[in-house]
Amino acid sequence: MINTKNIKETLMNNAIYVVLVALLVIIVIMSPDFLSIVNFRNILTQASTRIIIALGVAGLLITQGTDLSAGRQVGLAAVVSASLLQAPNYAYRMYPNLKQLNIFIPILLVMIICGIFGMLNGIVISKLHVTPFIATLGMMIIVYGVNSIYFDRPPYGAQPIGGLDPKFMKFAQGSFNIGGFIIPYLVIYAAIVTLIMWFIWNKTKLGKNMYAIGGNPEAAAVSGVNVAKNLIILYTIAGILYGFAGSLEAARVGTATNNTGNMYELDAIAACVVGGVSFSGGIGTISGVVIGVIIFQVINYGLAFIGVSVYLQYIIKGLIIISAVAIDTRKYIKKK
């Protein structure tokens, strides 16, 4: 009697995972060879850059903020890093006379650029008190404009930036082969970023302040937390992560345009929400975010794998986001 009640409660509390496991089971039944190491490696590789982006956005969601400019910042980082890292023998270089750079210089550069955009977001939100939705909506449009001006310039105009330095491509596409077991570099990068962010969230003053600001901003201020400073730092960190993810995205795909990264912020926010980050702030864990992104990628990949039409995929994804939040909210309402 009590047992069934407990099971019911457990199912209810984890309903989103139940739904997703069910979906996964359907995918596997329809196409058993979905369960292969290659597929899972592909999923993890694709999820890697998204995890990095989502970890940036998640910290902001926890402070009751959001960031709609994430995707466009990824695009800017992709275009700038790609433009500076075209192979010297490629015919259509944006900078025909540019020397071959160490790949880390452009990567660091775009991390700094996006960090500055992130910082601006933070300043507008915390000092000018513009709501995060509006502030980052504006920033999203501005960054796109900046990126497009940079992208659409002589000598070749608005052409996709290709012919990337092989070293740069290898940086994202390469992998370790340990006794026949292949681990892509991207997965390693995502793991390192995850570890760093886990440390920040759980072990540092910044992390504690982040939860405090999200849990109760006024109480945080009364407790001596410098809300503005902490918000600016968090938005800056998010920007730096987008910058890193953007350069990885360029190298992974092998080309970049001003539309690279478009709508990535929505995927990131959706993944955070599925992973249990509360939109009203104060709640969220690193593991939740990572699981959220991976689940999303599994569904994406799985639906494509069994041949569900792209349009139908959108509908299913939309339903997952809405039901995830509906179920999550139910949990908190019940607790009252």
Partner 1 sequence: MQNKYLLEMINISKQFPGVKALDKVTLRVRPGTVHALVGENGAGKSTLMKCLFGIYHPDEGEIYLDGRKVKFLNARQALDNGVSMVHQELNLVRQRNIMDNIWLGRYPQSGLFIDEKRMYEETKKIFDELDIDLDPREKVSKLSVSQMQMIEIAKAVSYNSKIIVMDEPTSSLTEKEVAHLFKIIKALKQKGVGIIYISHKMDEILEISDDVTVMRDGKWIDTKPASELDIDTIIKMMVGRDLTHRFPEKDNKIGDVILRVSNLTAKRQPSIKDVSFELRRGEILGVAGLVGSKRTDIVEALFGLREIEKGDIEVNGKSIKISNPRDAIKNGFALVTEERRSTGIFGMLDIKFNSTIANINSYCKFGVVDDKRCQKDTQWVIDSMRVKTPSQKTAIGTLSGGNQQKVIIGRWLLTEPDILMLDEPTRGIDVGAKYEIYQLIIDLAKKGKAIIMISSEMPELLGVTDRIMVMSNGYLAGIVETKKTNQEEIMRLAAKYL
- Return residues touching partner 1 (CB under 8 A): 203-209, 211-212, 215-216, 218-226, 282-283
What is the Cα Rg of the chain in Å? 21
Q: How many angstroms separate the CA atoms of 181 and 201, rounded?
A: 32
For residues 212 and 298, which CB has a smaller minimum distance to partner 1 in the complex? 212
Least distance (Å) between residue 80 CB and partner 1: 30
For residues 283 and 327, which CB has a smaller minimum distance to partner 1 in the complex? 283
Least distance (Å) between residue 279 CB and partner 1: 13
Decide if 270 contacts 317 (C-beta within 8 A): yes
Decide if 164 contacts 86 (C-beta within 8 A): yes
Least distance (Å) between residue 22 CB and partner 1: 29
Q: How many angstroms separate the CA atoms of 117 and 312, rounded?
A: 35
For residues 221 and 308, which CB has a smaller minimum distance to partner 1 in the complex? 221
Q: How many angstroms separate the CA atoms of 136 and 187, rounded?
A: 29
For residues 87 and 206, which CB has a smaller minimum distance to partner 1 in the complex? 206
Least distance (Å) between residue 4 CB and partner 1: 15
For residues 220 and 289, which CB has a smaller minimum distance to partner 1 in the complex? 220
What would the DSSP string read from start to end of 238-270? HHHHHHHHHHHHHHHHS-B-TTTTTTHHHHHHH
Q: How many angstroms separate the CA atoms of 131 and 204, rounded?
A: 26
For residues 77 and 200, which CB has a smaller minimum distance to partner 1 in the complex? 200
Residue 67: how many CA atoms within 13 Å on its side-chain side? 39
Least distance (Å) between residue 50 CB and partner 1: 27
Token pair, residue 66, equals: 């959001």
Least distance (Å) between residue 289 CB and partner 1: 17
Decide if 211 contacts 225 (C-beta within 8 A): no
Evaluate the omega torsion of the peptide bond into residue 155 and state whether it is cis, within 30 degrees of 0.
Answer: yes
